[in-house]
Amino acid sequence: MDDIVKAALAKWPNVPHCYGWLGLDARGQWFMRDDRVQAAGPFAAAEGDTATPSKGSLLKHDKLIEFIHRNYAADETGQWFFQNGPQRVYVELEHTPYIWRLQPDGSVMAHTGASAGEVRQAWLDEHGHLYLQTALGIGLVHTSDMALAADAVESGRWAPDAVLAAQLPERHGYVQSPQRLKAASSPTR
């Protein structure tokens, strides 16, 4: 976490959390979601949803994206967030907390630029998505890297097990939609 963020947290410790305003898609791209976009639909479809997903505006500012990457973490309940100064901005995940980029040398990098470390397990879901559990955590392999992933599977480095995509959040302790979780746990009036 950036020192400036730590200082802001110390100075303003009780700033309310923000939900629904930031999303991470399956390609490791960040989307800003204003009130209009949030009213149009969820960031990602959940099982049984009838609403059409509404991603928002793709973030393209390199320095902002780097700032998000340096201050991206999970809380004790598995909700991922970006610590924006004193405010915690919870992230809507299209799939997983990390999107893996496979490197020609066989290493795995997160969408944040961090090394994923050792690949510990692999899964293939009902949609053909490949997930890896690494020293860093759980993530989805970027679609552009599936040829390198196929090489890893064919060479025996990875042996994916079958998994249902809907099982992954509970199995790996992450929350895909902190906004939905908050809405479900908020008392209705």
SS (H, E, C) 127-183: CCCEEEEECCCEEEECHHHHHHHHHHHHCCCCCCEECCHHHHHHHHCCECCHHHHHH
Fill in the DSSP letter of residue 44: S
**Per mean pLDDT, which range of 13-22, 43-52, 55-64 is the poorest?**
43-52
pLDDT digits (tens, 9 = 90+) for 25-38: 999 999 999 999 99
Assess whether 12 and 67 both reside in one domain.
yes
- Which residues span the domain enclosing 142? 98-172
Assess whether 168 and 179 both reside in one domain.
no
pTM score: 0.90
Assess whether 180 and 159 both reside in one domain.
no
Assess whether 24 and 89 both reside in one domain.
yes
Assess whether 105 and 42 both reside in one domain.
no
Assess whether 181 and 89 both reside in one domain.
yes
- Number of structural domains the chain divides into: 2
Assess whether 73 and 134 both reside in one domain.
no
Assess whether 34 and 81 both reside in one domain.
yes
Q: Which two tokens stand for residue 1?
A: 């976490």
Bin 33: left if φ > 0, else alpha if -120 < ψ < 50, else beta.
beta
